[in-house]
Amino acid sequence: MYIADDRRYDKMKYNRCGASGLMLPAVSLGLWHNFGSNGNFDNMEAMCRTAFDNGITHFDLANNYGPEPGAAEENFGRILKKSLGGYRDEIVISTKAGYGMWPGPYGDWGSKKYLVASLDQSLRRMGLEYVDIFYHHRPDPETPLEETAKALDGIVRSGKALYVGVSNYNKEQTIAIAKLFREMGTPFIINQRRYSMLDRTMERDGLKDYAAVHGIGIITFCPLEQGLLTDRYLHGIPEDSRVRRDGRFLQESAITEDKLAKIRALNELAAQRGQSLAQMALAWILRDGDVTSVLIGASRPSQILDNIGMLGNQSFSREERERIDEIIR
Protein backbone atom coordinates (compact mmCIF):
# COMPACT_ATOMS: atom_id res chain seq x y z
CA MET A 1 0.00 0.00 0.00
CA TYR A 2 1.38 3.38 -1.03
CA ILE A 3 1.76 6.02 1.71
CA ALA A 4 2.96 9.44 0.58
CA ASP A 5 6.00 11.11 2.13
CA ASP A 6 4.95 13.17 5.15
CA ARG A 7 7.47 15.87 4.19
CA ARG A 8 6.28 16.27 0.60
CA TYR A 9 5.03 19.84 1.03
CA ASP A 10 8.34 20.95 2.51
CA LYS A 11 10.11 20.05 -0.72
CA MET A 12 8.20 22.24 -3.19
CA LYS A 13 7.32 25.87 -3.76
CA TYR A 14 3.75 26.80 -4.68
CA ASN A 15 2.56 29.78 -6.70
CA ARG A 16 -0.87 31.31 -7.02
CA CYS A 17 -2.35 30.68 -10.46
CA GLY A 18 -3.19 34.13 -11.77
CA ALA A 19 -5.87 35.87 -9.72
CA SER A 20 -7.53 32.60 -8.69
CA GLY A 21 -7.46 30.79 -5.38
CA LEU A 22 -5.64 27.80 -6.88
CA MET A 23 -1.99 27.21 -6.02
CA LEU A 24 0.19 25.20 -8.40
CA PRO A 25 3.59 23.67 -7.67
CA ALA A 26 6.49 25.50 -9.28
CA VAL A 27 7.20 22.23 -11.10
CA SER A 28 4.38 20.14 -12.59
CA LEU A 29 4.59 16.71 -14.22
CA GLY A 30 3.46 16.41 -17.84
CA LEU A 31 2.40 13.04 -19.21
CA TRP A 32 2.89 13.91 -22.89
CA HIS A 33 5.65 11.34 -23.37
CA ASN A 34 6.46 8.00 -21.69
CA PHE A 35 2.95 7.29 -20.39
CA GLY A 36 1.53 5.66 -23.50
CA SER A 37 0.76 2.09 -24.46
CA ASN A 38 4.43 1.51 -25.33
CA GLY A 39 5.66 2.48 -21.83
CA ASN A 40 6.43 0.44 -18.73
CA PHE A 41 3.58 0.78 -16.24
CA ASP A 42 5.72 0.19 -13.14
CA ASN A 43 8.02 3.00 -14.26
CA MET A 44 5.04 5.31 -14.88
CA GLU A 45 3.73 4.63 -11.40
CA ALA A 46 7.18 5.15 -9.86
CA MET A 47 7.48 8.53 -11.62
CA CYS A 48 4.07 9.69 -10.37
CA ARG A 49 4.82 8.54 -6.83
CA THR A 50 8.23 10.22 -6.89
CA ALA A 51 6.63 13.43 -8.13
CA PHE A 52 3.95 13.45 -5.44
CA ASP A 53 6.40 12.48 -2.69
CA ASN A 54 8.35 15.61 -3.60
CA GLY A 55 5.41 18.01 -3.63
CA ILE A 56 4.47 17.87 -7.31
CA THR A 57 0.72 17.93 -6.92
CA HIS A 58 -0.18 18.80 -10.52
CA PHE A 59 -0.39 16.15 -13.25
CA ASP A 60 -1.02 17.45 -16.78
CA LEU A 61 -2.61 15.32 -19.49
CA ALA A 62 -4.53 15.62 -22.76
CA ASN A 63 -6.99 13.40 -24.58
CA ASN A 64 -4.50 12.59 -27.34
CA TYR A 65 -1.42 11.84 -25.20
CA GLY A 66 -0.14 8.37 -25.94
CA PRO A 67 0.60 6.52 -28.07
CA GLU A 68 -2.16 5.56 -28.72
CA PRO A 69 -4.44 8.55 -28.14
CA GLY A 70 -6.07 8.14 -24.74
CA ALA A 71 -3.41 5.77 -23.42
CA ALA A 72 -1.81 8.27 -21.04
CA GLU A 73 -5.16 9.01 -19.43
CA GLU A 74 -5.90 5.29 -19.13
CA ASN A 75 -2.55 4.62 -17.49
CA PHE A 76 -2.91 7.56 -15.16
CA GLY A 77 -6.35 6.26 -14.22
CA ARG A 78 -4.73 2.94 -13.29
CA ILE A 79 -2.17 4.78 -11.17
CA LEU A 80 -4.94 6.69 -9.40
CA LYS A 81 -6.82 3.49 -8.71
CA LYS A 82 -3.74 1.64 -7.49
CA SER A 83 -1.97 4.25 -5.36
CA LEU A 84 -2.60 7.99 -5.77
CA GLY A 85 -6.40 7.98 -5.73
CA GLY A 86 -6.55 8.20 -1.95
CA TYR A 87 -4.92 11.62 -2.26
CA ARG A 88 -7.32 12.97 -4.91
CA ASP A 89 -8.15 16.10 -2.89
CA GLU A 90 -4.43 16.94 -2.75
CA ILE A 91 -3.91 16.54 -6.49
CA VAL A 92 -4.58 18.88 -9.41
CA ILE A 93 -5.43 16.98 -12.59
CA SER A 94 -5.70 18.76 -15.93
CA THR A 95 -6.59 17.50 -19.37
CA LYS A 96 -7.27 19.03 -22.78
CA ALA A 97 -9.11 18.68 -26.06
CA GLY A 98 -8.41 20.40 -29.35
CA TYR A 99 -6.34 18.08 -31.52
CA GLY A 100 -7.59 15.17 -33.63
CA MET A 101 -8.89 12.37 -31.45
CA TRP A 102 -11.32 10.26 -33.49
CA PRO A 103 -12.47 10.06 -37.15
CA GLY A 104 -15.05 12.34 -38.65
CA PRO A 105 -15.97 15.99 -38.20
CA TYR A 106 -16.74 15.79 -34.47
CA GLY A 107 -13.37 14.64 -33.10
CA ASP A 108 -11.17 17.68 -33.57
CA TRP A 109 -10.80 21.45 -32.99
CA GLY A 110 -13.18 23.46 -30.78
CA SER A 111 -16.86 22.74 -31.26
CA LYS A 112 -19.10 22.25 -28.25
CA LYS A 113 -19.90 18.72 -29.41
CA TYR A 114 -16.22 17.76 -29.50
CA LEU A 115 -15.20 19.41 -26.23
CA VAL A 116 -18.06 17.96 -24.18
CA ALA A 117 -17.73 14.47 -25.68
CA SER A 118 -13.95 14.48 -25.28
CA LEU A 119 -14.07 15.41 -21.62
CA ASP A 120 -16.65 12.71 -20.94
CA GLN A 121 -14.29 10.19 -22.52
CA SER A 122 -11.32 11.54 -20.54
CA LEU A 123 -13.22 11.24 -17.25
CA ARG A 124 -14.12 7.63 -18.03
CA ARG A 125 -10.53 6.76 -18.93
CA MET A 126 -9.21 8.21 -15.68
CA GLY A 127 -12.08 7.04 -13.50
CA LEU A 128 -12.84 10.60 -12.33
CA GLU A 129 -15.96 12.62 -11.67
CA TYR A 130 -14.21 15.89 -12.53
CA VAL A 131 -10.87 17.40 -13.53
CA ASP A 132 -9.43 20.46 -11.88
CA ILE A 133 -8.49 22.25 -15.12
CA PHE A 134 -9.90 21.61 -18.58
CA TYR A 135 -8.11 23.27 -21.50
CA HIS A 136 -8.96 24.05 -25.07
CA HIS A 137 -5.74 22.71 -26.56
CA ARG A 138 -5.40 25.02 -29.58
CA PRO A 139 -7.28 27.88 -31.26
CA ASP A 140 -9.85 26.85 -33.85
CA PRO A 141 -9.92 29.19 -36.88
CA GLU A 142 -13.33 27.92 -38.03
CA THR A 143 -15.48 27.51 -34.92
CA PRO A 144 -16.80 30.80 -33.48
CA LEU A 145 -14.82 31.69 -30.39
CA GLU A 146 -18.10 32.29 -28.56
CA GLU A 147 -19.06 28.64 -29.04
CA THR A 148 -15.77 27.37 -27.64
CA ALA A 149 -15.97 29.75 -24.68
CA LYS A 150 -19.60 28.84 -23.91
CA ALA A 151 -18.75 25.14 -24.12
CA LEU A 152 -15.98 25.55 -21.54
CA ASP A 153 -18.26 27.66 -19.35
CA GLY A 154 -20.96 25.00 -19.53
CA ILE A 155 -18.47 22.29 -18.60
CA VAL A 156 -17.60 24.13 -15.39
CA ARG A 157 -21.27 24.69 -14.58
CA SER A 158 -21.91 20.98 -15.12
CA GLY A 159 -19.35 20.16 -12.41
CA LYS A 160 -17.03 18.25 -14.73
CA ALA A 161 -14.20 20.80 -14.36
CA LEU A 162 -13.38 23.35 -11.67
CA TYR A 163 -11.42 25.80 -13.83
CA VAL A 164 -10.78 26.32 -17.52
CA GLY A 165 -7.67 27.18 -19.45
CA VAL A 166 -6.40 27.58 -22.99
CA SER A 167 -3.26 26.27 -24.61
CA ASN A 168 -1.26 27.63 -27.54
CA TYR A 169 -3.33 30.84 -27.64
CA ASN A 170 -1.30 33.97 -28.41
CA LYS A 171 -1.86 37.34 -26.74
CA GLU A 172 -4.63 38.54 -29.07
CA GLN A 173 -6.47 35.23 -28.91
CA THR A 174 -6.15 35.18 -25.13
CA ILE A 175 -7.52 38.72 -24.83
CA ALA A 176 -10.51 37.81 -27.00
CA ILE A 177 -11.52 34.67 -25.12
CA ALA A 178 -10.76 36.22 -21.70
CA LYS A 179 -13.31 38.96 -22.48
CA LEU A 180 -15.96 36.33 -23.18
CA PHE A 181 -15.10 34.44 -20.01
CA ARG A 182 -15.37 37.63 -17.92
CA GLU A 183 -18.82 38.32 -19.34
CA MET A 184 -19.97 34.78 -18.44
CA GLY A 185 -18.22 34.63 -15.08
CA THR A 186 -16.16 31.61 -16.13
CA PRO A 187 -13.16 30.73 -13.92
CA PHE A 188 -10.53 31.15 -16.64
CA ILE A 189 -7.21 30.99 -14.83
CA ILE A 190 -4.38 29.77 -17.08
CA ASN A 191 -2.73 29.63 -20.50
CA GLN A 192 -0.30 26.84 -21.39
CA ARG A 193 2.42 27.92 -23.81
CA ARG A 194 5.74 26.69 -25.10
CA TYR A 195 8.63 28.65 -23.55
CA SER A 196 12.34 28.16 -23.03
CA MET A 197 15.63 29.99 -23.24
CA LEU A 198 15.71 28.99 -26.91
CA ASP A 199 12.05 29.73 -27.70
CA ARG A 200 10.83 33.12 -26.49
CA THR A 201 7.81 33.49 -28.75
CA MET A 202 5.64 34.05 -25.67
CA GLU A 203 7.70 37.12 -24.82
CA ARG A 204 7.72 38.50 -28.35
CA ASP A 205 3.95 38.26 -28.82
CA GLY A 206 3.40 39.99 -25.48
CA LEU A 207 1.47 37.22 -23.71
CA LYS A 208 3.89 36.87 -20.80
CA ASP A 209 3.59 40.50 -19.75
CA TYR A 210 -0.15 40.67 -20.47
CA ALA A 211 -0.91 37.61 -18.36
CA ALA A 212 1.10 38.93 -15.42
CA VAL A 213 -0.78 42.25 -15.45
CA HIS A 214 -4.26 40.76 -15.96
CA GLY A 215 -4.19 37.92 -13.46
CA ILE A 216 -3.86 34.98 -15.84
CA GLY A 217 -1.59 32.13 -14.83
CA ILE A 218 1.05 30.79 -17.20
CA ILE A 219 2.31 27.22 -17.30
CA THR A 220 5.02 26.39 -19.81
CA PHE A 221 5.84 23.24 -21.75
CA CYS A 222 8.99 22.12 -23.56
CA PRO A 223 11.24 24.05 -21.13
CA LEU A 224 14.17 21.80 -22.04
CA GLU A 225 13.46 21.81 -25.79
CA GLN A 226 12.96 18.04 -26.01
CA GLY A 227 16.28 17.44 -24.24
CA LEU A 228 18.43 19.99 -26.07
CA LEU A 229 18.81 22.03 -22.88
CA THR A 230 20.35 19.12 -21.00
CA ASP A 231 23.75 17.46 -21.11
CA ARG A 232 22.46 14.86 -23.59
CA TYR A 233 23.67 16.64 -26.73
CA LEU A 234 26.85 18.36 -25.55
CA HIS A 235 29.00 15.96 -27.56
CA GLY A 236 26.69 15.22 -30.48
CA ILE A 237 23.59 13.08 -30.93
CA PRO A 238 23.51 9.89 -28.83
CA GLU A 239 22.28 6.77 -30.59
CA ASP A 240 19.66 6.16 -27.89
CA SER A 241 18.35 9.75 -27.97
CA ARG A 242 14.79 10.78 -28.84
CA VAL A 243 16.11 12.19 -32.13
CA ARG A 244 17.23 8.72 -33.20
CA ARG A 245 14.17 6.92 -31.79
CA ASP A 246 11.43 9.39 -32.72
CA GLY A 247 12.13 12.41 -34.92
CA ARG A 248 8.60 13.81 -34.79
CA PHE A 249 9.28 16.40 -32.10
CA LEU A 250 13.03 17.01 -32.33
CA GLN A 251 14.63 16.52 -35.72
CA GLU A 252 18.30 15.93 -36.37
CA SER A 253 18.41 18.85 -38.79
CA ALA A 254 17.57 21.21 -35.93
CA ILE A 255 20.70 20.26 -34.00
CA THR A 256 23.20 22.45 -35.82
CA GLU A 257 26.77 23.09 -34.77
CA ASP A 258 25.83 26.69 -34.00
CA LYS A 259 23.08 25.52 -31.65
CA LEU A 260 25.39 22.99 -30.00
CA ALA A 261 27.93 25.76 -29.39
CA LYS A 262 25.24 27.79 -27.62
CA ILE A 263 24.24 24.80 -25.52
CA ARG A 264 27.84 24.19 -24.49
CA ALA A 265 28.23 27.83 -23.48
CA LEU A 266 25.02 27.67 -21.45
CA ASN A 267 26.27 24.49 -19.82
CA GLU A 268 29.46 26.28 -18.73
CA LEU A 269 27.38 29.05 -17.13
CA ALA A 270 25.20 26.48 -15.37
CA ALA A 271 28.29 24.81 -13.94
CA GLN A 272 29.45 28.17 -12.60
CA ARG A 273 26.06 28.47 -10.85
CA GLY A 274 26.43 24.99 -9.36
CA GLN A 275 23.59 23.61 -11.46
CA SER A 276 23.08 21.20 -14.31
CA LEU A 277 22.07 22.77 -17.61
CA ALA A 278 18.55 21.38 -17.18
CA GLN A 279 18.24 22.89 -13.71
CA MET A 280 19.38 26.30 -14.93
CA ALA A 281 16.97 26.18 -17.88
CA LEU A 282 14.04 25.44 -15.56
CA ALA A 283 15.09 28.06 -13.02
CA TRP A 284 15.38 30.67 -15.79
CA ILE A 285 11.71 30.19 -16.71
CA LEU A 286 10.65 30.89 -13.12
CA ARG A 287 13.15 33.71 -12.62
CA ASP A 288 10.79 36.69 -12.38
CA GLY A 289 7.59 35.21 -10.94
CA ASP A 290 5.51 35.74 -14.10
CA VAL A 291 5.30 32.01 -14.83
CA THR A 292 3.18 30.01 -12.39
CA SER A 293 4.57 26.55 -13.09
CA VAL A 294 6.90 24.78 -15.46
CA LEU A 295 5.93 21.42 -16.94
CA ILE A 296 8.60 18.76 -16.98
CA GLY A 297 8.56 15.42 -18.72
CA ALA A 298 10.51 12.43 -17.51
CA SER A 299 11.44 8.92 -18.53
CA ARG A 300 12.55 7.80 -15.06
CA PRO A 301 12.13 8.96 -11.43
CA SER A 302 15.72 10.20 -11.12
CA GLN A 303 15.08 12.85 -13.78
CA ILE A 304 12.27 14.30 -11.68
CA LEU A 305 14.53 14.53 -8.64
CA ASP A 306 17.27 16.17 -10.69
CA ASN A 307 14.87 18.74 -12.15
CA ILE A 308 13.36 19.84 -8.85
CA GLY A 309 16.89 20.30 -7.54
CA MET A 310 16.80 23.71 -9.24
CA LEU A 311 14.38 25.07 -6.63
CA GLY A 312 17.24 26.04 -4.35
CA ASN A 313 18.64 28.51 -6.88
CA GLN A 314 16.05 30.34 -9.00
CA SER A 315 17.62 33.81 -8.88
CA PHE A 316 19.86 35.21 -11.60
CA SER A 317 22.20 38.15 -11.35
CA ARG A 318 22.01 40.87 -13.97
CA GLU A 319 25.31 39.64 -15.39
CA GLU A 320 23.99 36.07 -15.69
CA ARG A 321 20.82 37.23 -17.47
CA GLU A 322 22.84 39.33 -19.88
CA ARG A 323 25.23 36.45 -20.50
CA ILE A 324 22.35 34.09 -21.33
CA ASP A 325 20.89 36.63 -23.76
CA GLU A 326 24.30 37.12 -25.35
CA ILE A 327 24.76 33.36 -25.82
CA ILE A 328 21.32 32.91 -27.35
CA ARG A 329 21.77 35.81 -29.77
Average pLDDT for the chain: 95
pLDDT tops 60 at residue 247? no
Give 240's pLDDT tier (boundaries 50, 70, 90).
Answer: low
pLDDT at res. 241 = 62
pLDDT at res. 212 = 96
pLDDT at res. 121 = 98
> What is the arithmetic mean of pLDDT over 59-66?
98
pLDDT tops 80 at residue 248? no
Percent of the chain having pLDDT more than 70? 96
pLDDT at res. 234 = 84
3-state secondary structure the chain: CCCCCCCHHHCCCEEECCCCCCEEECEEEECCCCCCCCCCHHHHHHHHHHHHHCCCCEEECCCCCCCCCCHHHHHHHHHHHHCHHHHHHHCEEEEEECCCCCCCCCCCCCCHHHHHHHHHHHHHHHCCCCEEEEEECCCCCCCCHHHHHHHHHHHHHCCCEEEEEEECCCHHHHHHHHHHHHHHCCCEEEEEEECCCCCCHHHHCCHHHHHHHCCCEEEEECCCHHHCCCHHHCCCCCCCCHHHHCCCCCCHHHCCHHHHHHHHHHHHHHHHCCCCHHHHHHHHHCCCCCCCEEEECCCCHHHHHHHHHHHHCCCCCHHHHHHHHHHHC
Give 245's pLDDT tier (boundaries 50, 70, 90).
Answer: low
pLDDT at res. 244 = 53
pLDDT tops 90 at residue 238? no
pTM of the entire predicted model: 0.95
pLDDT at res. 222 = 97
| pLDDT tens for each residue of 147-182 | 999 999 999 999 999 999 999 999 999 999 999 999
Give 235's pLDDT tier (boundaries 50, 70, 90).
Answer: confident
Domain spanning 8-228+277-316: which CATH class is it, in words?
Answer: alpha beta
| pLDDT tens for each residue of 91-150 | 999 999 999 999 999 999 999 999 999 999 999 999 999 999 999 999 999 999 999 999
pLDDT tops 80 at residue 304? yes
pLDDT at res. 175 = 98
Give 255's pLDDT tier (boundaries 50, 70, 90).
Answer: confident
pLDDT tops 70 at residue 14? yes
Q: Domain extents for the chain?
A: 8-228+277-316
